[in-house]
Every structure is written in C-alpha cells, then in structure tokens.
C-alpha cells in the first residue's frame, strides 16, 4: 500500500507519534474534546509576540493555529527540526565531519545565531542569509556540494539551527557593511510590481488588520521562518513566501536564494527586530 506524502516531508519518528498519542489520551481522560491536548487548552498570552507597534504573524492567527504552533508534538514543523538534528550530527564528506565536530552542542553554539541573520559575510563580501551561511560551512568545512534551496535538507538544518534561538529577540544589523543590502531590500519592499501593481508595503504596512476575503492582513513579519504553512502542507523559507506573494500580485518572482531576496529578507527581518524567533512557526 502506498501512502501519498509530500516528498519534502521527513518521516515521523515513532517516539514522537507515541508522545502525541499520549497527550491526546490525557486530553480524553480530562474530558477535553478530541484533538485538544492539555497544552492547547492553556490561555494564550500574546504579549510575548508584540514589541512596540510590531506584531508577529502569530497574533493574527486563530487560537487553534496558535495552539498548534505552541504544541511541541503537534507542530508539524518539528518534523523538519528533527531531521535537521540528524543532519547536524551526521558525519559526512571526505573528512567525515559533522556540524557537531566543530560546533559541538547546537543548543549552546547556535543560540542567538538565527536572530542575527541575514548578516554581512566578509568572505563573500555581501550579506548572506542563514541558509547560505550553512551551505558555506558545508562547502568549506565539509567539502560537500551545497544543499539545494528549499530542499528537505536545507529546510531541515535551517529550521534546526533557528529553533535554537526560539524566544530570543530578532536583532539584525542594518548599518555598516550591511547598509547597501538593507537599502536595496527597503526599495524592493516599497516598489509596486506585477499586473496588480502592488508593493509589500501596500498591504503589510498600509492595510494591516484589514481583511482580504476572510483573512486578516498581517505585518508580514518573518520571525517565525522557516514556517510550516498550512496552505502548502510543508515547511517553507522566507524566500518561498516572497515568491508566493510576488506571484499573487502577478509579478515575476526572483529566484530563491537570489541576492534580491536576501536583501529583501534583511529589510523584512529588521522590521521584526525585537520580536521573538518562533521557528518553526505555523501559518495559515
């Protein structure tokens, strides 16, 4: 019997399955409705997801979707984090090095890293994002071909690394060597494109909180990326989200991993400075 699955979706591990079922069982014993777990029934405090006038996309979600993100066992994005954890510890390449060979415990060495990216890289002489930082390490230290953008592997290891910063405030630098990239990203954010002639700002700045059909417009914050997007039924990068939005306004998207999107990512991430890293976020 073949079960149709998304090819980019890592397999569930038995242990996690058991954990989820145990939570559901406790829910049943407590008289909660099916699908609810004790974690989900806790009241939701949004204050951690708001910084000044900055509001995470989390605050625009339904309580059900927020509960799904909060639930370590139910959050589908945790499957990619698990896969990333395996990649972190896998000895690969001509010298048999794993990420852990150099960086040891990710929970210590990677804590705070995702909050600082995209960032200027001296070696590349340009701003790079977390995916590209990981691929550089892979090429230079492990002697391997980079992971393809949006591959299961690159999403997994990126989600794993970013997950180590969960709860830490975004703090990207926009000045100094990053200033040119930041400026280009800002221009992209405010430039109207496509047949519908819309820039990011027209919705995500000028009309936040209004509804498109039935859905509220968020500020377009990217502090939860990579996110599990329910529409996609898979994890996706910020660049995939940019491309999706570009196509929604009937514009030609840039390539995933292009400098245009890295610049836009830096500007977009700077708008989230102060908001917590949520990776893996869950979004509609």
Active-site amino acid positions = 245
Binder of other proteins out of 12, 13, 17, 207 (CB under 8 A):
207
Q: With respect to other proteins, which residue has the nearer C-beta, 94 or 214?
A: 214
Is 192 near other proteins (CB under 8 A)? Answer: yes
Is 187 near other proteins (CB under 8 A)? Answer: no
- Cβ 241 to other proteins shortest distance, Å: 17
Do the bridges between strand 54-55 and strand 119-121 make them parallel or antiparallel, or are there none, so unpaired? unpaired
- Cβ 255 to other proteins shortest distance, Å: 13
Is 178 near other proteins (CB under 8 A)? Answer: no
Q: What is the distance between the alpha carbons of residues 35 and 12, in angstroms, rounded to a whole number? A: 18
- Cβ 13 to other proteins shortest distance, Å: 39
Measured between alpha carbons, how far is residue 222 from residues 32, 62, 156, 204 in Å? 33, 18, 17, 12
Binder of other proteins out of 251, 266, 268, 277 (CB under 8 A):
251
Is 198 near other proteins (CB under 8 A)? Answer: yes
CA geometry: angle at 89 spanning 151 and 116, to 5°? 65
Neighbours of 201 (CB within 10 A): 15
Closest-CA residue to 36 (of 27, 45, 44): 27
Is 191 near other proteins (CB under 8 A)? Answer: yes
Measured between alpha carbons, how far is residue 161 from residues 16, 71, 140, 155, 242 in Å? 20, 19, 18, 10, 21
Which residues are at the interface with other proteins (CB under 8 A)?
191-198, 202-203, 206-207, 210-214, 217, 246-247, 250-252
């Amino acid at each position: 019997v073949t079960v149709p699955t998304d090819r980019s979706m890592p397999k569930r591990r038995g242990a996690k399955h058991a954990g989820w079922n145990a939570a559901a069982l406790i829910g049943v014993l407590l008289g909660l409705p099916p699908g609810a777990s004790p974690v989900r029934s806790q009241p939701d405090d949004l204050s951690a997801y708001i910084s000044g006038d900055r509001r995470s996309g989390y605050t625009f979600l339904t309580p059900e979707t927020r509960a799904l993100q909060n639930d370590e066992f139910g959050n589908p994005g945790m499957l990619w984090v698990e896969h990333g954890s395996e990649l972190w510890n896998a000895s690969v390449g001509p010298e048999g090095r794993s990420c852990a060979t150099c960086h040891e415990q990710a929970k210590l060495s990677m804590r705070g890293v995702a909050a600082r990216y995209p960032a200027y890289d001296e070696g590349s002489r340009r701003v790079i994002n977390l995916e590209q930082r990981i691929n550089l390490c892979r090429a230079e230290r492990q002697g391997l071909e980079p992971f393809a953008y949006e591959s299961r592997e690159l999403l997994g290891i990126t989600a794993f690394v970013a997950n180590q910063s969960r709860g830490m405030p975004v703090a990207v630098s926009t000045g100094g060597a990053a200033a040119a990239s930041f400026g280009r990203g800002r221009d992209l954010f405010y430039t109207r494109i496509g047949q519908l002639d819309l820039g990011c700002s027209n919705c995500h700045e000028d009309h936040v909180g209004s509804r498109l059909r039935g859905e509220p417009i968020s500020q377009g914050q990217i502090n939860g990326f990579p996110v599990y997007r329910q529409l996609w039924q898979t994890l996706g990068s910020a660049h995939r989200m940019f491309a999706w939005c570009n196509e929604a306004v009937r514009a030609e998207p840039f390539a995933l991993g292009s400098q245009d999107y890295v610049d836009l990512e830096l500007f977009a991430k700077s708008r989230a400075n102060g908001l917590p890293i949520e990776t893996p976020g869950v979004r509609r």
